[in-house]
Structure 1
Amino acid sequence: MNYEVFQWINDLAGRFPFLDKGMIFITNSVPYVVIVFMLFLWFTGNKEKREEKQYTAMYIVFTCLLGLALNAILHFVYYHPRPFVTHHVHQLVPHAVDSSFVSDHAVLVFSVACTLLLRKDSWKYPVLVWAIIVGISRIFVGVHYPADVIGGALLSLGASIVVMQFSKKLEPIVQVLFNIYKKLTKHIPVLAKFSH
């Protein structure tokens, strides 16, 4: 089933140049989009909403770090070959021949989406749709199976639940980070106004 769904999506690659370019752009732009979105959360909104958005940004960082750390351990103890290693596929982007399960990209984007969902942020549904599209793009370009993406989503959901459950214990760390930001930006008025 995993390979059949992979084939169904990956077989679309190479047929429509505009679709190929779009999927390559989506899959390659993930780190940059995440950074831009984090800055958006940090610097937008009125003063009342800003603190809530900045906390959300902090929780996203914690969730990403936890999810990626767990995935690194998983990759260390379990190796699953990527689709292009064991099958003839339409591979549109270069990739190392490391473990396929689970997808780091999926962990990253679903960490953002799951945190927003748990925080009931207004961007939760658009970001969830984006995360799903990114997951599909990883299959489309030939570097992940559907199970890798689903596994990444579930790992991110678990990580975000853990972070939210322990949010009170994380509060001292959050305050330290807020204070570091305040000290770094106190002489830059345009940035200082976004501190607590």
Structure 2
Amino acid sequence: MNEWLFEQINAFAKATPWLHVPARSYAGYAVVLFAALLLAGWSAARRSGDVSRAAAAVTAGGATLLALAVNQPIVHAVHEARPYTTLTNILVLANRSPDASFPSDHATMAGAVAVGLLIVSRRLGIVAVVAAVLMAFTWVYIAAHYPADVAAGLLLGGVVAVLTWLFVRRPLTRVVGALAGTRLRPVLVTAGHPQLS
């Protein structure tokens, strides 16, 4: 099923040469978009005056780094070959890499950012979810990953983001609330009085 789905997407890539440059560009540079979304989440949390949201914004960034750290041992343990090293007669738009394929680092990052931002702001979270799914698709489209690689990455990133928030929510919210009463307040919350939620 995994290989069959990859072949269907690769056939679509062969039939859509006009998408090659946009897909390669998005796959390569969308990490900048996700960084911008994290900053937007931080800004939205600050303006809300809600220290819980500010704590969630901090957690979103931290959980993304944690998800990538968790992903690395899995990548090395599974050591799945990239599609272009095992399949023939496929269109390869990706820059070839000796790295293993499962789970996808980029999808892991995207999944963590998307779920982390859903906790901070539903609107930003939905934008991030769409961006994450699009990133996952483009990495398969350019033949850098199998569909299972990116699906596992999205799932792993999302799970790490949720578990991290559940683990740190109360203590981190208290810390942010305490810091909001110091000179660091403008960095943490800017609207009204800090509100615990």
Q: Which moved more, 1:33-42 or 1:136-145?
A: 33-42
CA deviation profile, 1:147-189 (whole Å, cap 9, x unmatched): 00111111112201211111246628965xx79xx77xxxxxx
Tell me the TM-score normalised to structure 1 length: 0.81
Q: Mean Cα displacement is larger for which, 49-58 or 76-85?
A: 49-58
Separation of aligned partners in 1, 2:103 and 2:45: 35
Tell which deviates more after alignment, 13-22 or 28-37: 13-22
- Check conservation: 1:85, 1:97, Cα contact below 8 A: no
- TM-align CA RMSD: 2.6
Within 2, Cα distance between the matches of 1:57 and 1:38? Answer: 7
Q: Which runs of 4+ in 1 moved over 4 A?
A: 49-53, 172-175
Relative to structure 1, the CA distance from residue 121 to residue 172 in structure 2 (aligned partners, 3 Å threshold; closer, same or farther) is closer
Counterpart code for 2:18: F
Name whichever of 123-132 and 139-148 sits farther off: 123-132
* TM-score, L = length of structure 2: 0.80
Amino acid at match of 2:38: M
State yes or no: 1:27 paired with 2:27: yes
Q: Greater CA deviation, 58-67 or 101-110?
A: 58-67
Counterpart residue identity of residue 148, structure 2: A
Structure 2: 5+ residue stretches without partners: 190-197
Larger relative contact order (C-alpha < 8 A, sep ≥ 6)? Answer: 2
Contact 1:14 1:20 in 2 (8 A): no
Is the contact between residue 93 and residue 141 of structure 1 (CA under 8 Å) also seen in structure 2?
yes
- Over 3 Å counting, the alpha-carbon distance change for 1:174 and 1:137 in structure 2 is farther
Alignment length (residue pairs) = 184
Amino acid across the alignment from 1:31: V
- Mapping of residues 78-97 of structure 1, within 5 Å: 78-88=78-88, 89-97=90-98
